[in-house]
Amino acid sequence: MKCADNVGSIYCVRFMIPVLFWIAALAAGETTSHQGFVIGEKLSGSVGFYHANGMRTADVKVGQHPHEMALSADQRTVYVSDNGVVWMTEDGPGDNTVSIIDLASHRRTGVIDLGQYRRPHGIAVDRRTGHIFVTTERPSALVELDPVSRKVVRAFDVKGKAPHIIVLGPRSEFAYTSNDNSGTISAIRLATGEVKVIPAGKRPQGQALSPDGKFVFITLEDDNAIAILDTTKNEIVGRIRTGRSPNRVAVTPDGKLLVYSMQLAGAVGFADVAARKQIAEVPVGGQTMSIALSPDAQFAYTGIQEHDRISIVSVRDRKLVRSFKTAPGSGPDAIIPLR
């Protein structure tokens, strides 16, 4: 590709970079199925906006060491848990805020103060009410927030240690927290605060609700397995053996396939739900911190914090098709693909 003689070299380079990304994507067999990404940049305390071709277009400063993110029901706002420490094994008070980011303007438009509840981690939005639910590690709790008044509404004792990720069950009757340090899942009936503690396994972390709402899939990082929780019984009814240290999980829209990151294996795994069996493991060149599916579920995205990189895996072909660099020192973790 040659720039016209009357075009400045800087402009030419800026024009060519996204084109080269696009050509590389085509060569890898990837088609752009969405507008871009919102990426939680854990190490730099920011949220980055990236074009689908991997070009960073904007960034927003949030609290120190953000961990997880969630979209509002109208998909206009991103909520970010400002945890305050990099690793949950660290000792320290951390932060106690949730940042509110407007997608259209790329601005941090508000902050919700959690008061005594510190080190927020998992985050989910109740699509019926618009309220936000956040797990906190100091103390171990589930906290309900009103994003309009920007206040804490309620707090629940999860009766477990170090709650990690939260999933809201069918009709948001129950909230499920994965309690990393106690090896349990808490099924919290939100109307009453009643808690059922369910033994799960070693270091339950990521969770995903099946499309029909009948099951929650839970990664057990130190058991190298995914537990299957029946939401009608609130009991563990099965396990799927995986590769090493599964930590985040997603389920395809047809409910047939689990896609998950495996941190210490440096890979993305695939499991057949009906067969309850891992069927593929795709190395991605570094410790995987997160997993997200494209809106059409053709691709899986995982953040590699140590290398400032996002790796892209074809769900159909089960192979690494592309990667792109995030900002230096950003430490990418949570990923939200935008439509």
Query: pLDDT > 90: what percent of the chain?
Result: 86
Q: CA 217, 138, 196 angle in degrees (round to 5)?
A: 40
Q: Is residue 2 part of a domain?
A: no
Report d(CA 213, CA 232) in Å as an integer.
9
Tokens 């990099």 correspond to what residue? 86
Q: What is the pLDDT of residues 272-286, one digit of tens each?
A: 999 999 999 999 999
Cα 189 to Cα 66: distance, rounded to the nearest angstrom: 28
CATH number at 150 reads 2.130.10.10
Q: What is the pLDDT along the chain (339 residues), one digit of tens a residue?
A: 444 344 344 334 443 444 444 444 444 444 445 689 999 999 999 999 999 999 999 999 999 999 999 999 999 999 999 999 988 788 888 999 999 999 999 999 999 999 999 999 999 999 999 999 999 999 999 999 999 999 999 999 999 999 999 999 999 999 999 999 999 999 999 999 999 999 999 999 999 999 999 999 999 999 999 999 999 999 999 999 999 999 999 999 999 999 999 999 999 999 999 999 999 999 999 999 999 999 999 999 999 999 999 999 999 999 999 999 999 999 999 999 998
pLDDT of residue 34: 65
* pLDDT tens-digit readout, 121-161: 999 999 999 999 999 999 999 999 999 999 999 999 999 99
pLDDT at 333: 96
The confidence score (pLDDT) of residue 91 equals 84
- Is 10 buried (19+), middle (13-18) or exposed (0-12) by CB count in 10 A? exposed
Domain count, the chain: 1
Residue 318 φ/ψ, nearest 5 degrees: 55, 60
Assigned domain for 11 exists? no
- Are 178 and 164 in contact by the 8 Å Cβ rule? The answer is yes
Sheet containing strand 151-157, edge to edge, reads: 118-125, 132-138, 140-146, 151-157
Q: What b/e readout covers 269-291, taking b as 16+ CB neighbours within 10 angstroms? A: bbbebeeeebebbbbbebbbbbb
Domain-located, residue 4: no
What is the C-alpha separation between 16 and 18, in angstroms, rounded? 6
Domain membership of residue 100 (yes or no) is yes
Is residue 92, in this structure, part of any structural domain at all? yes
Is residue 204 within 8 Å of residue 164, measured between CB atoms? yes
What pLDDT shows up at residue 92? 83
Task: For residue 63, give its domain range.
Answer: 37-338
Long-range contacts of 15-18 (CB under 8 A, 24+ apart): 17/55, 18/51, 18/53, 18/55
Cis peptide before 93 (omega within 30 of 0): no
Write the CB contacts of 312 (distance below 8 Å, at least 6 apart in sequence).
30, 299, 300, 301, 320, 321, 322, 323, 324
Across-strand partners of 262? 246, 267
> Does residue 149 sit within a domain?
yes
Asked whether residue 6 is domain-assigned, the answer is no
C-alpha R_g of the chain: 20
The answer to whether residue 183 sits within a structural domain is: yes
By the 8 A CB rule, do 118 and 94 touch?
yes
